[in-house]
Structure 1
Amino acid sequence: MKQFSLQLSSIKHTAPDGIEMGVMNNGTPYLGARGLAALCGVAPSVIITLVKDWQAELRFKPRGQAIERLILEQGGDPSELYVPITIEGKTYHAINDTNCMAILEYYAFDSQTPSEQAQKNYRNLAKLTLRTFIYERTGYNPSDSLPDYWKTFHERITLNELPSGYFSVFSEIANLVISSIRGGMPFDHETMPDISVGIAWSKHWTDNNLESKHGGRCKFKHIFPEDFPQKDPMAWIYPVEALGEFRLWMDNIYISEKFGKYLNNKVKKGVLTNVDILALVQAVQPVRLN
């Protein structure tokens, strides 16, 4: 026991939703006794007593024999159930993932009074483990399924920081872009609603002499991803004093009157296919309070 306690330590310890967990310096994930008790639906003292008295007594009783069998079936080592670790002066019982699943399985199905909480958590974790197994065996990475449109949006956001005191059309139409992508609109070098919004807002700005009301706008370089044909043009950025007016214009004029026309024009050019324009326009309409 002393050999393990000297060699192993926690490099990551946290307690989301009150469930103590972490990762050892050898990569082994673990739960604290209280965290495992929460999953099993039993009092913390039950798990603490189990792991502390394991070698002295409980390993050789029916409960211990059942748990040892489950550990061995999962390829684990039942000689010790936990490793003592110290985090900020407090000692925890770190129970590795194999032992945790064996103990959870016992309280879910093999104990004299099976715990519904343990059954629920065991099934959820078993599904997660199977999913991870299939992902690993097939070489599937969940991030691979992320549509390129989301990656493009994220890249364009991170590429374009603005000077203090100004906003850009692109930075302010994030909700429109996100709702549109969810509604089936592509977001790439051919479909960029920020250009449409920028042209319309610029015309509204000059037609209504908003500079006299809010202060001057200026040009600032807008950077596109490297694989875009656009070559980082200078785009208008506007004083933040005009932000409220821009948002009202977006809600009451652009989204209501112009966005549908922009999408229909893309359909005519063959850029948008299999997109329900009416549903998409409806999906991006702002929520209005009565």
Structure 2
Amino acid sequence: MSKSVSTSTAQISFDLEIVAEKEIDGIGMGVLKNGTPFLTLRGLARMCGVDHSMIVRMTAQWQDVPLKPREQRIREIMRARGADDSVAFIAAVKDGTIHHRVPDSVCMAVLEYYAFEANSAAKDHALNSYRVLAGAGFSAFIYQQVGYSPQPLANLAWQKFHDRVSLAYNTVPAGYFSVFKEIADLMVTLIREGADLGDKFIPDISVGLHWGKFWTGNNLDAVYGMRMKYEHNYPDYFPQAMSNPQSPFCYPDDALGEFRKWVRTTYLPKHLPAYIAKKVGEGMIGGSAAQIAIQALNKQSAQIVKPI
């Protein structure tokens, strides 16, 4: 925590108040007024399984010239995700005092580094943390943990989403990924912009259908291994629950990079606008909100770089 911060290292904005914050199992987490989920410096260190001082040094060295190898690699990971790598942490306001909080994009890049690349004794610990956050989607996980709904009018949509997330844990076999979990951040963005996600607005079905056609059309079973069915249930108040358990496909982890690239380069620019337009016509999301949501999602995928 600090009352004076270098603008070269942190983003300072006194309207970025901390509106929800909890410490769970020793991990500080929360949400800023603009909806950005975060971990505290100590919380991120705990999830990585490293000493707090290592994360403090990382943020202090974020803008060094030349960059040290660790900070350089983490920033490369962020750029590969299309994230802004200029900010290491946010100087947020709580009760009139500035606190340092690490936003989602930095947290995931740091966790990825410690889970897969760092020569650290805590590598397995970091990998487990990375899987938890990557599986649920960082935003969805933090929102659920701290009980945050960014728009009061969207409480019902958030509740429906949270209920679906709670049923989705531990249902996908080891070594496979599900479309629902992988597009959680896309769903969060839509809800933030006022989408009424629920039993009539289920983006993962749209993504799953298009991805399934791409998978079979390119015979990706032969490339990555056979996809398989898994059990997926809807909350009992969804009409779809009458036919629970559902049996969507899950896909080999080896194809995860291919899926994410396909979402960025194919689904978001080619299929999402038509799907959103249909939902605008059905009154599930306002036209202006739909445009904002599409712009936000396309901005996230605009910087397509070589694979890490």
TM-score, normalization by structure 2: 0.46
> Larger RCO: Structure 1 or Structure 2 (Cα < 8 Å, ≥ 6 residues apart)?
2
Find the structure with the greater CA-based Rg.
Answer: 1
TM-score, normalization by structure 1: 0.49
